[in-house]
Amino acid sequence: MIASDLLTLTEAGLYCPAGDFHVDPWRPVPRAVITHAHSDHARQGSERYLTSHDGRHVLATRMVPDAVIDTLEYGESIDLNGVRVSLHPAGHILGSSQVRIEHRGRVCVASGDYKVDRDATCAPFELLRCHSFITESTFGLPVYRWPPQQEVMAAVNEWWLGNREAGRASVIFAYSLGKAQRLIAGLDPQIGPIYCHGAVERVNRDYRETGVSLPATAYASSRSARDYAGAMVVAPPSANGSPWLRRFGNCSTAFASGWMAIRGTRRRRAVDRGFVLSDHVDWPGLTGTVRESGAEQVFVTHGFTAACARWFGDQGLDAHVLPTRFEGEQDDRAEDAEQEPDAQEPDS
Ligand SMILES: [Zn+2]
Ligand SMILES: [Zn+2]
């Protein structure tokens, strides 16, 4: 049991017995509270979903068409069988939430995936005070520290400009939900046109419908005999090395990910450039957040769980590993393998 019986682990995942709801369940359940729409957090088949208002469009796209999705504004609370539940910005992707659960004076926060750096495509992370905090640890090792986003985007734009001057297309691989839109928001559209893989363009539409402003993008169709020299192309990692890439002719490739902080990862990716851009907290962000939450009890999930829990234990916290069925964005295949590279793309 976690946090004075507030949360426990069942076959379907994290469960609040008093409130009778699951958070990011692995299997279909009667009521699922969803932190965000990435596939390792939002599974199809539950009877009802509860997510943030900002997260409705992106979640609906990934659910079956008749899925029942209730929403809450950030900070708004509801009563589920005497348990007070509210959603607060996690700063990870559009609509991502921390779930604050309060019962008989005890507060538990399940943060989902989160990051504390600001970006233009989602509401900024909100620090919550709590007794128990459930943190991810995707990049929960001291080696992971992110350069400022502005610096990274300046380097991306410079790379693009250099490729344009050399008559090449720039193809950048990034998760289709979240990372791609964050990249696009930071691109300088003065340099040239921006084209997107169908999986990315679909999510762009959800972002725009939710009110996020992005530079103009167009679908990189196979049917038009367009010259892509000088253009920027944004595609999911699964498109790397696929026949889909041939239409761009002479091109330079790059990958945008927190994993690019490690040189060997860059080599394994077989891309020309790596840009360190993550939608997850880095080590200073993670440890700072746990400290400032005031939590005396911390549960570590998704990523470097054992090392991270041990570190918090050494700091005097009551720290535990919370097992998960998913490795999440540790390996991009989990997120983007479902996106068919070509056959099912919309044509526009
Ligand atoms: Zn995520
Ligand atoms: Zn995740």
| pLDDT above 80: residue 33 | yes
Calculate how far, in angstroms, residue 125's C-alpha sits from the geometric centre of ligand 2: 16
Residues flanking ion ligand 1, Cβ below 5 Å: 38, 113
162 in helix, strand or coil? Answer: helix
Look over the chain and give the mean of its residue pLDDT values, rounded to a whole number. 91
Calculate how far, in angstroms, residue 114's C-alpha sits from the geometric centre of ligand 2: 9
Which ligand sits nearest to residue 302's alpha carbon?
2
Calculate how far, in angstroms, residue 195's C-alpha sits from the geometric centre of ligand 2: 27
Each domain of the chain, given as residue ranges in start order, spans 2-143+280-321, 149-276
In the prediction, which pLDDT does 255 show? 95
Which ligand sits nearest to residue 55's alpha carbon?
1
| pLDDT above 90: residue 331 | no
Q: Give the range among 5-9, 22-26, 147-151 with minimum mean pLDDT.
A: 5-9
| pLDDT above 60: residue 204 | yes
| pLDDT above 70: residue 3 | no
Which ligand sits nearest to residue 175's alpha carbon?
1
Segment 336-344 mean pLDDT: 36
Residue with tokens 């348990």, as numbered in its chain: 83
| pLDDT above 80: residue 117 | yes
In the prediction, which pLDDT does 224 show? 64
Give every CB contact of residue 56 below 8 A, 6+ residues apart in sequence.
69, 71, 95, 210
Pick the CATH number of 149-276 from 3.40.50.720, 3.40.50.10890, 3.40.50.300, 3.50.50.60: 3.40.50.10890
pLDDT band with cut points at 50, 70 and 90 for residue 265: confident
Backbone angles phi, psi at 176, to 5 degrees: -70, -30
Which ligand sits nearest to residue 326's alpha carbon?
2
Calculate how far, in angstroms, residue 121's C-alpha sits from the geometric centre of ligand 2: 18
Which ligand sits nearest to residue 329's alpha carbon?
2
Which fold, 2-143+280-321? Answer: Metallo-beta-lactamase; Chain A (3.60.15)
Sequence-ordered alpha helix ranges (H) in the chain: 56-62, 149-165, 179-186, 198-210, 263-269, 283-293, 305-314, 333-336
- Exposure on the CB side of residue 25, measured as CA atoms within 13 A: 24
Which ligand sits nearest to residue 303's alpha carbon?
2
| pLDDT above 90: residue 283 | yes
Residues flanking ion ligand 2, Cβ below 5 Å: 40, 113, 328
Which ligand sits nearest to residue 138's alpha carbon?
2
Calculate how far, in angstroms, residue 175's C-alpha sits from the geometric centre of ligand 1: 10
Which ligand sits nearest to residue 334's alpha carbon?
2
| pLDDT above 60: residue 2 | yes
Segment 287-291 mean pLDDT: 98
Calculate how far, in angstroms, residue 191's C-alpha sits from the geometric centre of ligand 1: 30
Calculate how far, in angstroms, residue 94's C-alpha sits from the geometric centre of ligand 1: 10
| pLDDT above 80: residue 269 | no
Calculate how far, in angstroms, residue 112's C-alpha sits from the geometric centre of ligand 2: 7
Tens-digit pLDDT profile for residues 68-99: 999 999 999 999 999 999 999 999 999 999 99
Q: Give the range among 71-75, 246-250, 263-267, 325-329 with minimum mean pLDDT.
A: 325-329
Calculate how far, in angstroms, residue 304's C-alpha sits from the geometric centre of ligand 1: 15
Which ligand sits nearest to residue 327's alpha carbon?
2
Segment 139-156 mean pLDDT: 96
- % helix / strand / coil in the chain, to the nearest 5? 30, 25, 45
Calculate how far, in angstroms, residue 340's C-alpha sits from the geometric centre of ligand 1: 20
Calculate how far, in angstroms, residue 259's C-alpha sits from the geometric centre of ligand 2: 15
| pLDDT above 50: residue 342 | no
Calculate how far, in angstroms, residue 37's C-alpha sits from the geometric centre of ligand 2: 9
Q: CA nearest 274: which of 162, 148, 154, 156?
A: 156
Rounded alpha-carbon distances, angstroms, from residue 236 to 47, 67, 204, 293, 341 = 30, 26, 13, 34, 9
The pTM is what?
0.92
| pLDDT above 50: residue 254 | yes
